[in-house]
Amino acid sequence: MTIRIRHADDNPHEASEINVTPFIDVMLVLLVIFMVTAPLATVNVPVDLPSSAERPAPRPDDPVFLTVKADHGLALGEDDITPDALPGALEGATKGNRDERIFLRADRTVDYGTLMGVMDRLRAAGYLRVALVNLQGREEGRDPATAGGAGAAP
């Protein structure tokens, strides 16, 4: 004798699936909200920042100046040198200290490519600490004799 257990539901079961349509609708609404609010979160506010009252760092006692002249010639201190002699001249001027800062000056008419070439030669020689020198207390285009600031004639 076989006993058969009847289930309450002998009909074939329907496959139950999650309805993803409301999920997609919610995600699209969130996408639109984020697309609208994201540009508002990165507002570019113009600000007039204050200047620092801090004085520039003091200059070393015996700085090493490398000058790029208007004719693209080089001078280490007061002595003219050739680009090929630069590593040896720097070695003597810094006493072999490659961590010493080199103050690089360039004439206003020297192009950017020439200046970068000199900086590449410094890097190849092992001198990575380079400071670019400018005139302080002088605005672009103003004559120092009429500016009344640094470098004014008495």
Question: Is 72 a domain residue?
Answer: yes
What is the reported pLDDT for 44?
54
Question: Is 30 a domain residue?
Answer: no
Q: Using 50, 70 and 90 to split pLDDT, how confident is the model at 136?
A: low
Find the distance separating the first CA and the last CA of the chain, reported in whole Å: 128
Q: What is the pLDDT of residues 8-55, one digit of tens each?
A: 655 666 667 788 888 999 999 999 998 888 776 654 555 455 555 566
Question: Is 15 a domain residue?
Answer: no
What is the reported pLDDT for 50?
55
Question: Is 92 a domain residue?
Answer: yes
Question: Is 142 a domain residue?
Answer: no
- What is the spatial distance between Cα 152 and Cα 142, in angstroms, rounded to a whole number? 11
Q: How far is CA 131 from CA 81, 93, 120, in A?
A: 20, 16, 14
Question: Is 98 a domain residue?
Answer: yes
Domain count for the chain: 1
Q: What is the pLDDT of residues 68-83, one digit of tens each?
A: 888 988 988 888 899 8
Question: Is 89 a domain residue?
Answer: yes
Q: One-letter amino acid identity for 140?
A: E
Q: Which CATH number does the domain housing residue 113 bear?
A: 3.30.420.270
Q: Which domain holds residue 94?
A: 64-136
Q: What is the pLDDT of residues 87-128, one digit of tens each?
A: 999 999 899 888 899 988 888 888 989 989 999 999 999 999
